[in-house]
Amino acid sequence: MNRYITSAIRRISNAWPAKPVFSRLSAPVASFTFDDFPHTAWINGAPILESFGVRGTYFVAHAFSPESLNKFPDTEVMTGVSYYELNDIVAAHTKGHEIGCHTFNHKRVSQQNNCELLDSIDRNAEFVKHLLGDVIMTSFAYPQGNVSIGAKRFLSRKFSVCRGTQAGINTKLLELSQLKCFNLDANFDKNSIDALIKETKVRNGWIIFNTHDVIDFPSPYGCTPELLYAVVAAVAASGIEILPIKHALGRAMFRPITR
């Protein structure tokens, strides 16, 4: 396909709203998420969040599990990155972190039809259920941030909320089929933290930060523990409440009861 046509389709897919809802936030909120669930996101990332008394959302794909990693040759893996151990998922859930769905095979959703997507998320759900018992994943993250109009429509009916990778603060009209986030990666400007926090407070928004591995020498999609700590510390110091995706969604959908 012509690259200009491909680019146009991508822009239209990203802009097309499949699940818009008006925000009912009475105060701004923030979430920290980890795609693919690298092992370092748990052993280095979780202690940072927990040191501030908050929890994050870990998006899991079965294809990255120890027993599956080499069985699916079309799975896109990050060179030099070690993915989760099964005990990491159990420990994360036990400590109150959210486990979200990242498909079974980590394949781009635009390359799959609805039947394939359903099979992928069902198999991933069975994998998580086998580990955690009666746990239903209500949050979804698109592998590689890739979307299509059809996939957004389908997946937004299967999950309460879907998160993409496009930059932005979620405010006023929330697009629950593709929430925006800021990627804590090699391109993130550490000096922008204060400005992002200020804008989130002014706009009474929901700001989401996303990364992958958390290690001193991260992949292009990950970050250092120093950067993660700096961002979490700044958000916490600002007074913005930090919540996993599913809990932040609750804040956005329901106003607190007042007497």
Structure confidence by residue, pLDDT tens digits, 48-83: 999 999 999 999 999 999 887 666 656 666 667 899
Q: Which residues of the chain have pLDDT under 70?
A: 1-9, 69-79, 256-259
Phi, psi of 236 (to 5 degrees): -60, -40
Give all domains of the chain, ordered by start, each with its CATH number. 8-253 (3.20.20.370)
Structure confidence by residue, pLDDT tens digits, 162-171: 999 999 999 9
* Residue-level pLDDT at 18: 81
b/e burial code for range 90-102 (CB count within 10 A of at least 16 → b): eebbeeebbbbbb
CA distance 182 to 240: 16
Q: Which residues contact 257 (CB under 8 A, 6 or more apart)?
A: none
* Residue-level pLDDT at 66: 85
